[in-house]
Amino acid sequence: MLFNLLALFGFLIVLLLLRRLVNILPSLMACLIRGKESINLEASVKLSRDRDMLALAMIIPFCLTVSSHRLYSPGILEGVSTNVYIGICFAVFFCYVLLRTMLTWLFRPKKARKTYETAKKASYSFFITYTLFILAAAAFLGVFDVAEATIRNAMLWISAFIYALFLIRKLQIFSTSCSVFVAFLYLCALEMIPTGILVISAIIF
């Protein structure tokens, strides 16, 4: 029941923003290809505003997809009810976002603030694209009645690919204002720590 209500609510939100999604989709796809496209997107007030709104709108579809296909599945969650699992997925997501926000604030530079902000907001663009990809994968594979384990594995591979691509593009953005070595250190602090904690929690627990 909870899943259906959230799915309906999330669908209505995305439907209301569908025109914005269509307009910004070319820019989102371009961000996958070149790091410079994230800079161009951030320079546009309208596109960046629409991107931020869409990133918020994708939270519900993303968390429901994760819970539906058990993409985050530490052993401690085995046997919990669907409603509880959905709540945990949302809680883990917001804890992950909070940790990233704290680290972003902690390691903010005194110079090159614009580049730093662009690199931070690039995660919004990739989050939208990633959510669309896993939703499309779930729909496409579901039509052909593919086994759930196969769908889950496909989504995990998509997750790894999109995240690796995101790291490369974020490194390129940082590199426009600092050395590659410093850019890599920023990447480790802002990405490796929170994501590492998330992955380890799924393995240990």
The 10s digit of each residue's pLDDT in 113-152 is 888 888 889 999 999 999 999 999 988 888 887 788 888 9
Q: What is the DSSP letter of 75?
A: G
* pLDDT lower than 50: segments of the chain: none
- pTM score above 0.85: yes
Cβ 13 vs Cβ 57: under 8 Å: yes
SS3 assignment, position 11: helix
- Predicted local confidence at residue 129, as pLDDT: 95
- Dist. CA 64–CA 85, nearest whole Å: 10
